[in-house]
Amino acid sequence: MDTTRAAPSAPALPEEPAILHPGPFPWWMRGGHLETILASTLPLPTAPFEATCHVVEVEPGTAVETWWSSPPAADRGSVLIVHGLGGSAQRPHNIALASEALRRGWHTVRVNLRNHGGTEGLASTLFAAVQTDDIGAVLAEMEARRLPRPYAVLGVSLGANMSLRYAALEGSASRADAVVALNPAVDFFAIEREINRPSNTLYRLNFVLGLCRMLNAIRAVRPEPGPPASLRTIHSIREFDHHFTAPASGFPDVDAYYEAAGAAPLLDRLRVPALLLTARNDPFIPPALIARHHRTAEGRVQVALADRGGHVGYRTRDASGRPRFWAATPTLDWLEDTLPR
């Protein structure tokens, strides 16, 4: 296998973000809320593929679970897929991303971040968005197992923020040769304001419920300080982070944690190309929040705005009418245009 590291490229970019037009959508799936909610609950048909589980130590006493798959032919490179808050390696859009990458000859690794995907017993700490060194540890394991280069990190939502943060903090030492960030949650303060709007109550409650369930699953394995974790006591993501995430990560308060965790102030430090793809009708990540970063990092950052898709929805139909995860196509197209063989 070729393990030679590809040189980062910074192609000339247009002055404004590209506008993409996903589709066709089912006639009944209209608006950012439906495109988000239904896409996250309905299954996506994908070609079956095999995956092997490897547990990767990220720090003493803590490991993450990873799922490795090889393409039937070719060694185009390797993709690490990083899920979002409350997600897992098994979410339909992550399976669809891996399926498309495998079809094109890319090796794929899907990670379950700390405490996600039923891995509470593998970690000695709570999950936090500042744990971006975990991405570096998985990439180092990919190197050790001689997966072919180039390496791309493909993150979704909070995982997209973590992927960008990892590459930005590492600078020229980044083990990733490129980053793709789908609907990236790059500014925790801005997204907190959006998700607390009355129109986004369902998302807020869903995230809080998921975080409380995760914490209670951890408490079934080991003690974890703090108040009872339920919707009766925790009413927002910020409250959860105030009681649990920030103190467990060594921050004096939740604002300090949010300041450290967001990738937005760090993007100019990127030394590898990055694509930020989001939807204009994302219910809680404003497109302007992402569009402002187009051409940053000396032109290494490219932003593309889909005119529909919700928050990591993008559930469209192919030529035969079968559901598909539309974002997988522009994601892999960009990687193959950007990274040399």
pTM of the shown model:
0.94
How confident is the model at residue 5, as a pLDDT? 53
Task: Give yes or no for residue 104 having a pLDDT over 80.
Answer: yes
Query: What tens digit of pLDDT does each residue of 227-237 get?
Result: 999 999 999 99
> What CATH class is the domain 18-186+266-338?
alpha beta
The token duo for 3 is 């393990």
- Please give the average per-residue pLDDT across 300-325, as a whole number: 95
No. of helices (H) and no. of strands (E), the chain: 12, 11
pLDDT-derived band at 12, boundaries 50, 70, 90:
low
Give the end-to-end CA distance of the chain in Å, rounded to a whole number: 12
Which burial class, exposed, middle or buried, applies to 190 when counting CB atoms under 10 A from its CB (0-12, 13-18, 19+)?
Answer: middle
Average pLDDT, the chain: 94
β-pairing, 178-182 vs 151-156, is parallel
Give me the sign of the Cα torsion angle 214, 57, 155, 35: negative
Q: What would the DSSP string read from start to end of 221-269?
A: TS---SS--STTT--SHHHHIIIIIHHHTT-SSHHHHHHHH-SGGGGGG
Is a pLDDT exceeding 50 seen at residue 158? yes
Q: How confident is the model at residue 254 (pLDDT cuts 50, 70, 90)?
A: very high
Task: List the structure tokens of 181.
Answer: 């960030």
Cβ atoms 281, 308 nearer than 8 A: yes
Question: Quick one: tokens of 238?
Answer: 């910020």
Domain range annotation of the chain: 18-186+266-338, 188-261
How far CA 100 is from CA of 152, 289, 325, 329, in Å, comes to 14, 28, 9, 8
Task: Tell me the mean pLDDT in the region 276-302.
Answer: 97
- Measured distance CA(336)–CA(341) in Å, rounded: 8
> Alpha-carbon Rg of the chain, whole angstroms?
19
∠ at Cα 72 (71, 74), nearest 5°? 70
Instruction: Using pLDDT thresholds of 50, 70 and 90, give the confidence band for residue 2.
Output: very low
Angle between helices 328-338 and 92-103 (to 10 degrees): 40
For residue 15, what pLDDT is reported?
81
pLDDT at 11: 55
Average of per-residue pLDDT across 190-194: 96
Averaged pLDDT for residues 137-159: 98
